Chains A and B, each alone.
Chain A
Amino acid sequence: MPPSLARGRRRFAGLALTATAAIGTGALAGGGELDPTTAAIAEEAATIPGVSPGPAPAAGEIDALTNAITSGLRCPVCQGLSVADSTSAAAVTMQRRTRALVEAGYRREDIERYYVERYTEWILLSPTNEGLNKVVWLGPLGAGAVGLLVAASFLRSGARRADRAYPSADAALSPRAPAATDANPATGAIDRWQAAVLAEVDDD
């Protein structure tokens, strides 16, 4: 990373840290000292740094939206459970945090991005259909197509082999065929058997 970019990033990070701390406390006490009461922190509105919340959802929608989001998040300490389905300490903490963000007016996309930034896309139970993840979505279709092609190729080559080994009855019975069919002892035996069957049918 170029030094100027690194410096800029650090400066931005510093500003973000300061701004978030100031917003979090609601106000800086006189002389630049932070409000020392823990109550102020407890009352702090849930925020996602750098993201502005929208209007808060209706009270009746909060539970449903929280559940919809946490159902799509992987519980970090469970096996195969979503955050919504788990009662582990980590999942309960994430449920509380998600609910606070929903109440504050953050959209589902903002909240999911917040978790992805911290836990990577691993946290999503359904990977997004973007970038390399397309392989996950399109892979089964591609594998199915390749399987069909391979199966069709085997069937066609099998049919060609069968044609070479067992020419059709018309070809075997044609006056020009005997030289070719008699060349194969097995084919000759079948032809004789076929001729016998046909003769028997004619007798009837």
Chain B
Amino acid sequence: MNAPARRGVNWTVLAVGLAVTVPLIALFAASFGNDPRAVPNGLVGGPAPAFQLPDLEGAVVASDALRGKPVVLNFWSTWCGPCKQEHGALQEAAKRHPEVAFFGVLYNDEAEKARRYLEVAGTTYRHLVDDDGRAAIDFGVAGVPETYFINAAGDIVHKQVGPLDGRSIEAWLARAGGQ
């Protein structure tokens, strides 16, 4: 019986196969850690947008008056369950960190509903009303809750999508310059 003929490597097929599969594998590998539902934000790492919004009592808060201290902006609404879930942790953090300016920003909601909710749930920081949603879009908000940690220089150091807990608030406050 004759021995089977030994076949050499087809370098052309190998090269074409590698050229197609290696970039695809690299693409998939790079995407494994990404949340496909996450909405990217182009402002993180850069200056926070300017805003001026009334609080629930009608007094206006302007971002330029907050320069020089870390700021936490928490976009929330009364119809948002996860917002209520993180409310306690944010209240505690605001009490622990008087050097940080905490603000809630009401998103797509009515001020009266927010007042009623806060009367029951309590609050240790001011809440601003973004009636036309302009501030939310200026910040690149896609939904609630979203929280922006801004350092004393006015740069956004982190955007948190979803509810926060005490530990993550402390970690991001440390990055933003809180003590």
B-binding residues in A (CB < 8 A): 9-10, 13-14, 16-18, 20-21, 24-25, 34-38, 41-42, 46, 49, 76-77, 89-90, 93-94, 96-97, 100, 115-120, 122, 146, 150, 153
Contact of B133 among A13, A24, A49, A97 (CB under 8 A): A97
**Shortest Cβ gap from B20 to chain A (Å):** 8
Is B62 an interface position by the 8 A CB rule?
yes
A-binding residues in B (CB < 8 A): 12, 16, 39-43, 47, 49-50, 52-54, 58-60, 62-65, 67, 107-108, 129, 131-134, 136-143, 153-155
Contact of A21 among B50, B138, B140 (CB under 8 A): B50
In the complex, chain A residues whose CB is within 8 Å of the CB of B133? 93-94, 96-97
Q: A10-B47, A34-B52 are in contact. List 7 more A-B contacts (CB 8 A).
A: A34-B62, A38-B54, A77-B142, A93-B108, A115-B137, A118-B41, A119-B41
Contact check, B64 vs A76: say whether CB atoms are below 8 A apart.
no
Contact check, A93 vs B43: say whether CB atoms are below 8 A apart.
no
Q: State the total of A-B contacts with C-beta under 8 angstroms.
A: 105
In the complex, chain A residues whose CB is within 8 Å of the CB of B39? 76, 119, 122
**Shortest Cβ gap from A48 to chain B (Å):** 9
Contact of B64 among A9, A21, A89 (CB under 8 A): A21
Q: When A49-B49, A118-B43, A146-B16 are in contact, do A38 and B60 touch as well, CB less than 8 Å?
A: yes
Q: When A21-B50, A41-B52, A96-B133 are in contact, do A14 and B142 touch as well, CB less than 8 Å?
A: no
